Amino acid sequence: MNTSALLGLLAETSIHAGAGQSGGVVDLPIQREAHTGWPVVYGSAVKGALRALAEENTEKNAPWLTAVFGPETNNASDHAGALLVGDARLLLLPVRSLTGHFKWVTCPALLRRFAADAARLGLTAFDLPAAFARLDRQTVLLPEPTGESLYLEEFRLRTEQADFETIIPVLASLMDRFDAETALRKQLALVDDDRFSHLAQFATPVNAHVCIDNRTKTVKPGALWYEESLPPDTLLYVALHAQAARRKEADKSAAEVLAHVTGDLFGQRPYLQLGGNETVGMGWCKVSVQHGEG
């Protein structure tokens, strides 16, 4: 019976999952992995979003809610929740292109990590073509040729065609779009790991925000800040693993725990709001559920 699943999260609006501190010129940066610098949404934030969605759709203290997510904070020592939630990891980053529509950019390191995560959950993964290992900083690999050069942000890259036939269907399954495979064939781009690290660091949107004084209709003194976000069309994924409920009153197997999330939460309305600024429409993701074998 299924006790693990992979959630594909395709951003439909910008996502701001704040880091809570700033070490640079951006006042409100997004969460990033310490060792890679890649954007991420930490598992604690994802689990909180799942719980918030569950509380909206069920009676707040329904037995399955507490069994799945654990008790409220003041009773957290009673028992742990039965749902294990991983980080929302980056898979495809939308990057503007001066030579056409935006590209979904990824790199070999991201694809290798995703394949390892999928295999651990019992999902069909893929092997990376040998051409990916020979990629250099000045080259971009595309499923279909689009000319000799491609501009990503300020970089002019030499284009080469590569075999993505085993990769595109897997990526499309995480996007829940009827035209996902067609769009990926036109917009998928694979760059060197080092080139991607630069794009992941500097190609994310940073927007200025101000607070207006309602009386004078001018900016309040000191009320200017800069906020970073992940753009719409970003593709993330989350690994879920369920265990049997630890609450004595709830006799639920691991498969039942997982079904409450994948079925009860996303069966009818497959959307999840991540991060802050919900009142201005940020953080909405389309959810696709892929069940594992274990």
Cα dihedral across residues 237, 45, 103, 179: positive or negative = positive
- 157: tokens are 């890259």
Whole-model pTM: value is: 0.93
Q: Is 171 helix (H, G, I), strand (E, B) or coil?
A: helix
What is the structure's pLDDT at 194? Answer: 96
| CA 143 centroid distance within chain | 23
Contact present, 219 and 21 (Cβ < 8 Å): no
> How many domains is the chain partitioned into structurally?
1
| Nearest in space to 256 (alpha carbons), one of 64, 62, 57, 46 | 64
Q: Read off the pLDDT of residues 119-132 as tens digits, 9 standing for 90 and up.
A: 999 998 888 998 89
Query: Which parts of the chain sit beneath pLDDT 70?
Result: 1, 23, 59-63, 74-78, 249-250, 294
Residue 265, Cβ density class (10 Å: 0-12 exposed, 13-18 middle, ≥19 buried): buried
What is the structure's pLDDT at 23? Answer: 67
Contact present, 121 and 292 (Cβ < 8 Å): yes
Q: Is 99 helix (H, G, I), strand (E, B) or coil?
A: coil
| Nearest in space to 159 (alpha carbons), one of 90, 121, 103, 205 | 103
Torsion of CA 55, 60, 64, 65, to 10 degrees: 50
Torsion of CA 264, 272, 80, 120, to 10 degrees: 90
How does 24-54 read in b/e, with b if 16+ C-beta sit within 10 Å?
eeeebbbbbeeebebbbbbbebbbebbbebb
DSSP state of 260: I
- 82: tokens are 């039965």
Q: How many other CB atoms are found less than 10 A from the CB of residue 160?
A: 14
Q: Which amino acid is at 171?
A: L
What is the structure's pLDDT at 195? Answer: 97
**CB neighbours of 208 closer than 8 A, spacing ≥ 6?**
224, 225, 226
The domain in which residue 34 lies consists of 4-291
Q: Read off the pLDDT of residues 52-96 as tens digits, 9 standing for 90 and up.
A: 999 887 765 566 888 888 887 766 566 778 899 999 999 999 999
